[in-house]
Amino acid sequence: MRALNYNAAIDRIVQFIREKTSSGVVIGISGGVDSATTAYLAVKALGKDKVLGLIMPYYENQDVEDAKLVAKSLGIEYKIINIRSIIDAFRDSLNIDLDKKSLGNVMARTRMIILYAHANSLGRIVLGTSNKSEFLTGYFTKWGDGASDYAPLINLYKTEVWEIAKRIGVPERIVKKKPSAGLWEGQTDEEELGISYKLLDEILWRLVDLKMSKEEIANELGIPVERVEHVEKLVKGSEHKRRLPQGPSFEDLISGP
- The answer to whether 142 is a known ligand-binding residue is yes
Nearest to 154 by CA among 245, 34, 30, 25: 34
29 is annotated as contributing to ligand binding: yes
137 assigned to a ligand binding site? no
The response to whether 75 counts as a known ligand-binding position is: no
Q: Is 240 annotated as a binding residue?
A: yes
Nearest to 110 by CA among 125, 130, 124, 89: 89
The answer on whether 241 is annotated among ligand-binding residues is: yes
Determine the Cα–Cα distance for residues 233 and 114; give it in Å rounded to an integer.
33
Residue 180, marked binder: yes
Residue 109 is labelled as binding a ligand? yes
- 148 carries a ligand binding annotation: no
Q: Which residues contact 137 (CB under 8 A, 6 or more apart)?
A: 193, 200, 204, 231, 234, 235, 238
Q: Is 22 buried (19+), middle (13-18) or exposed (0-12) by CB count in 10 A?
A: exposed
DSSP 205: I
Confirm or deny that 35 is annotated as ligand binding. yes
Q: Is-contact 72 188, C-beta < 8 A? A: no
* Alpha helix ranges (H) inside the chain: 6-20, 33-46, 62-74, 84-94, 100-122, 132-137, 158-168, 172-176, 189-193, 197-204, 214-221, 225-237
Amino acid, res. 184: W
Contact between 151 and 130 under an 8 Å Cβ cutoff? The reply is: yes
CB 105 within 8 A of CB 146: no
- Is 30 among the annotated ligand-binding positions? yes
**Is 38 within any annotated ligand binding site?**
no
Binding site for deamido-NAD(+): residue ranges?
Answer: 109, 142, 149, 240-241
Residues at the annotated binding site? 28-35, 109, 129, 134, 142, 149, 158, 180, 240-241
Per the annotation, binding residues for ATP are: 28-35, 129, 158, 180
**What are the binding residues for Mg(2+)?**
34, 134
